[in-house]
Structure 1
Amino acid sequence: MNTDMSVSTWQAELAVDCRCTLGEGPQWDADNERLCWCDILEQRLHWLSPISGESGHYQLDHMVSLAAPLDSGGLLLVGEDRLSRFDPSNGSTETFCDFEADNPITRSNDARVDRYGSLWLSTMGKSAEKNAGSLYRLHRGRLTRLRSNLTIPNAICFSADGQFAWFTDTVTGVVMRWSLDSEGWPQGEPQPWADFSSTTGNPDGAVVDSEGCLWLALWGAGRVVRLDHNGQVIGRIELPVSQPSCSAFAGQDLKTLYITTAQEGFSAEQLAQEPTAGSLYVVETGVKGLADPLLRLE
Structure 2
Amino acid sequence: MQQAEHCLTVGATLGEGPIWVDDALWFVDIKQQRIYRHDPAAGTLDHWAAPEMVGWVVPAARGGFVAGLKSGPHHFDPATGGFARLADVDAHLPANRLNDACVDGQGRIWFGTMDNDEAALSGRLFRWAAGRVEPTSADVVCITNGPAISPDDSILYHVDTLGKVILAHPMLADGTLGPATEFARFGDADGHPDGAICDAEGGVWVGFFGGWAARRYAPDGTMTDEVRFPVSNITKIALGGPDGRTAYATTARQGLSEGQLAEQVQAGDIFTFRVTVPAKPLHRAQI
The TM-score range, normalised by the shorter chain, is over 0.9
2:157 maps to which of 130, 152, 166: 166
2:8 maps to which of 16, 22, 28: 16
- Once residues 280 and 132 of structure 1 are traced to their aligned partners in structure 2, the CA distance between those partners, rounded to angstroms, is 30
1:184 equivalent in structure 2? 175
Structure 1: unaligned runs, 5 residues or longer: 1-8
Q: How many Å apart are 1:194 and its aligned residue?
A: 0.8
1:6 equivalent in structure 2? none
Moved over 4 A (4+): none
- Once residues 244 and 54 of structure 1 are traced to their aligned partners in structure 2, the CA distance between those partners, rounded to angstroms, is 23
1:88 maps to which of 72, 75, 78: 78
Q: How many Å apart are 1:185 and its aligned residue?
A: 2.2
Q: Is the 8 A contact 1:29 1:36 kept in 2?
A: yes
Q: Residue 120 in 1 paired to residue 117 in 2?
A: no
SS at match of 2:162: helix
1:205 maps to which of 195, 210, 217: 195
Letter of the 2:124 counterpart: S
Q: How many Å apart are 1:101 and its aligned residue?
A: 2.8
1:243 maps to which of 219, 223, 233: 233
TM-score between both structures, scaled by the size of structure 2: 0.96
Q: Deviations over 1:260-298 (max 9, x none)?
A: 00010111101101011011111112331112211112x
SS at match of 1:269: helix
2:271 maps to which of 268, 274, 281: 281
Change (3 A) 1:132 1:180: same
List aligned pairs for 1:92-171, cutoff 5 A. Answer: 92-146=82-136, 147-171=138-162
Structure 2: unaligned runs, 5 residues or longer: none
Query: Over aligned residues, Cα RMSD in angstroms?
Result: 1.3
Letter of the 2:25 counterpart: L
1:72 maps to which of 62, 76, 97: 62
2:20 maps to which of 28, 33, 38: 28
1:215 equivalent in structure 2? 205
Q: Is the 8 A contact 2:144 2:158 kept in 1?
A: yes
- Once residues 126 and 82 of structure 1 are traced to their aligned partners in structure 2, the CA distance between those partners, rounded to angstroms, is 14
- Once residues 172 and 197 of structure 1 are traced to their aligned partners in structure 2, the CA distance between those partners, rounded to angstroms, is 10
- Once residues 79 and 240 of structure 2 are traced to their aligned partners in structure 1, the CA distance between those partners, rounded to angstroms, is 21
SS at match of 2:112: strand
Q: How many Å apart are 1:17 and its aligned residue?
A: 0.5
Identity value in percent: 30
- Once residues 153 and 105 of structure 1 are traced to their aligned partners in structure 2, the CA distance between those partners, rounded to angstroms, is 14
- Once residues 86 and 168 of structure 1 are traced to their aligned partners in structure 2, the CA distance between those partners, rounded to angstroms, is 26
Q: How many Å apart are 1:83 and its aligned residue?
A: 1.3
- Once residues 202 and 129 of structure 1 are traced to their aligned partners in structure 2, the CA distance between those partners, rounded to angstroms, is 15
Q: Is the 8 A contact 1:255 1:287 kept in 2?
A: yes
2:262 equivalent in structure 1? 272
- Once residues 292 and 119 of structure 1 are traced to their aligned partners in structure 2, the CA distance between those partners, rounded to angstroms, is 13
List aligned pairs for 1:17-56, cutoff 5 A. Answer: 17-30=9-22, 33-56=23-46
1:230 maps to which of 207, 214, 220: 220
Q: How many Å apart are 1:229 and its aligned residue?
A: 1.6
TM-score between both structures, scaled by the size of structure 1: 0.93
Q: Is the 8 A contact 2:159 2:196 kept in 1?
A: no
- Once residues 250 and 138 of structure 1 are traced to their aligned partners in structure 2, the CA distance between those partners, rounded to angstroms, is 25
Q: How many Å apart are 1:102 and its aligned residue?
A: 3.1
Letter of the 2:61 counterpart: D
Letter of the 2:12 counterpart: C
- Once residues 121 and 112 of structure 1 are traced to their aligned partners in structure 2, the CA distance between those partners, rounded to angstroms, is 7
